[in-house]
Amino acid sequence: MKFRPFLSADSSAGAMRAASLWTTLLLLFLSAWAKSGTDLAVVTRKDTPIHGLTRQQVADLFLGRQRVSVQGQPLVPIDLSDPALRQDFYERVAEMSAIRVNAYWARLVFSGKGRPPHKVPLDQATMQVRSRPNTITYLPLEQAGDLKILLILPASERPPEGVH
Amino acid sequence: MFTNQRSEDFLWLRTRMRRPKLLFRIAWSIWFFVFQSPASGIEEQDFALRGFGTLGAACFSTGKWDFLRDERPDGPGRSKHCDSKLDSNFGLQFDGAFGESLTLTFQAVGYHGADDRFTPELTLAHLRWIPSTRTTIRVGRMQNPMFFASEYRNVLYVQPWVRPPTELYNLATAYSTDGAAFSTSLPLKDWRLDLEMGVGKSQFNVVLSGSQEIGAVKSDFAYLGALLERDHWALKAGLLNGRVTYAPSALNLLGLQLVSLGLHELAEDFVFDHKRAMLLGLGIKYETDLWLFQGEYAYRLIDAFNRKQQGAYLLAGRRFGNWMIYGILAGAWSGTRDLLHRLPSGSESDASLQAAIAGVESTVNAAIEDRISLSAGIARPLGSLAILKFQVDYVRPRNRPEDALPSGILTTLNLDFIF
């Protein structure tokens, strides 16, 4: 009787390929999970005379429900065009899916009662906030750099922390 | 039959295409002027051209009566089994911002109007000024905000159904309103209260029930609206008070006929000139990413033959991923029939009196829109700018002889989009 080795040279290579594939998939999954689990920060320029915002204020500001004024000048929100970050932000700040946010703005816009914040890519949003006072945006916490953090929206279910 | 249907649709398409071509040219001119101007900055997005529309078809199972909504002259049913004009529309909007506090909005919508054409109507044309963080003033043409979907009633993309329940939304005495409105937003503990008050004039054409005559409904009014919101909850209340004039010749003739017979009190009900009108609307909504519950009630009081009308609906919807499944129960009731009990019993030999009474009965019966409907629908977004909706309505007229208006099943397939 001829025994077949448990791992032949061919099957060993196949197993290596399978392991490599599984590792890649696992890494992809983890990176996707890590991306959706990123803490977000609501930021403004260092010299904007405001020290923190509540989650409700941020929601009201980005949903055009209410204006926030700083020394007589309105805070101008800048929205992001990145669908994943935008989805995360509105889910955390207002518990609204992207579809509902789109419908919400369409209702306001087409009744002539509001206009949505400018929507730009993350790098442009950061650049605009750095160059113009009284503008605010949101981004992954680790990219806040020298910007002033007004609110942290954690990835977990914990209530968001205001920065005062 | 099919040939006629196709030729009607073709004519409708030609009518529809002629008007939007003009609109498109105007819109393009605005766009070109705004974005080619050296003074404007595209990155500021201070000027925008947007649009919305619906392509739809609805079929009604009964051929005894038409399913109608707001100003439409006819609908699926008796006029034709299937109708592509019931919900189909196309709108263009231009928004301009001059700084952070002043905006200008124009919106034109082409829909199947009382004139049986798709003539574009200017539905928004106003300046919006935000003098402080909590107050807004609008002057010009706006949409009346009485019910949840009143202000965006033409934008079906943002609504959960294929069309607002007609049992309630047909009670509106004003749509496009020329006037001024002041609104303010106030925090109330964890709630936010938005108050809006305004004065204005409104005019729209309708086809007189039971005839083909078009009459203009004109109204002058003041209104107060309140919206109380917190997280997933919204409570809405609206009160409109004013005067309504509606004087198609058939109604005037009936009024004169009654006056000539000495029935002055009864005639007053049919001379529809500056009649007092009051509309009360109440609504509640609970919405999460999964669930939507919404209900509204309206009570309309007009000092005329169709004096008391009420309408209400309840909606329950559940989202399953991108799909949304919903059901609606709606009803409309009127006190119009009370008037029939006040009719004099003239002798059979008095032909003119008998004719007048017949005219009154006919007019009153045609104005009765009492009914109850049960609807089920499903909606699915196609990308981020379009939604496909399918809805089936079982509509049962009430307070009328069953052979005159039998129940019917309305089936609708709509594609709503924005751009």
Name residue, tokens 């609307």.
B281
In chain A, where are the structural domains located? 8-37, 40-162
Count of domains observed in chain B: 1
What distance, in Å, lies between the first and last C-alpha atoms of chain A?
78
Chain mean pLDDT for chain A: 80
Report how far residue B379's alpha carbon sits from residue A158's, in angstroms, rounded to the nearest whole number: 33
CA distances from A53 to A58, A68, A82, A87, A112 (A): 6, 10, 23, 20, 28
Question: Residue B347 pLDDT more than 50?
Answer: yes
Q: Are B189 and B230 in contact (CB under 8 A)?
A: no
How many Cβ atoms from other residues are within 10 Å of residue B22's Cβ?
11
What is the structure's pLDDT at B63?
87
Rounded percentage of chain A residues whose pLDDT exceeds 90: 48
Could you give phi then psi for residue B126, rounded to 5 degrees? Answer: -145, 160
Per-residue confidence (pLDDT) for residue B272, from 0 to 100: 79
pLDDT attached to residue A156: 67
Q: Which of A70, A90, A92, A113 to mutate to test the interface with B (most CBs of B within 10 A)?
A: A113
Interface test with A, best of B44, B105, B142, B156 (most A CBs within 10 A): B105
Q: Which of A95, A112, A120 sits opposite B126 (nearest CB)?
A: A112
Pick from A98, A107, A109: CB nearest B50: A109
Compute the distance between CA of residue B47 and CA of residue B43 in angstroms, rounded to an integer: 10
Q: pLDDT confidence of B358, banded at 50, 70, 90? A: confident
For residue range A63-112, list pLDDT tens digits in order: 988 888 888 888 999 999 999 999 999 999 999 988 889 899 999 999 99
Range of the domain at B115: 2-36+47-418
Asked whether the beta carbons of residue B232 and residue A95 sit closer than 8 angstroms, the reply is yes
d(CA A13, CA A23): 15
B42, part of any domain: no
Q: Is the pLDDT at B37 greater than 60, yes or no?
A: no
Specify if B241 maps to a domain. Answer: yes
What tens digit of pLDDT does each residue of B143-187 get?
A: 999 999 999 999 999 999 999 999 999 898 888 999 999 999 998
Confidence at residue A8, expressed as pLDDT on a 0 to 100 scale: 45
Cβ–Cβ contact B103 with A under 8 A: yes
- The CATH number covering residue B112 comes to 2.40.160.10
Q: Name which residue leads in pLDDT, B118 or B326.
A: B326
- Helix, strand, or coil (residue B151): helix
**Which has the closest alpha carbon to B384: A113, A138, A100, A118?**
A100
pLDDT of B39 higher than 50: no
Residue A145, CA distances (Å) to A82, A153, B23, B235 in order: 19, 16, 48, 42
Topology (CATH level 3) of domain A40-162: D-Maltodextrin-Binding Protein; domain 2 (3.40.190)
pLDDT score at B121 = 93
ipTM of the complex: 0.82
Query: Would you give the distance in Å from CA A109 to the centre of its chain?
Result: 24
Question: Does B15 have pLDDT greater than 50?
Answer: no
B157 with A103: Cβ contact below 8 A = yes
B145-149, B330-334, B364-368: the lowest-pLDDT one: B364-368
In the predicted structure, residue A163 carries a pLDDT above the cut 50:
no
- Residue A15: what pLDDT? 62
pTM for this model (two decimals):
0.80
Residue B415: the pLDDT is 97
- CA dist., res. B21 & res. B23, Å (int): 5
- Kindly state whether residue B381 falls inside one of the protein's structural domains: yes
- B34–chain A nearest CA distance, Å: 17
**From the list B44, B133, B142, which residue is nearest A66 (CB)?**
B133
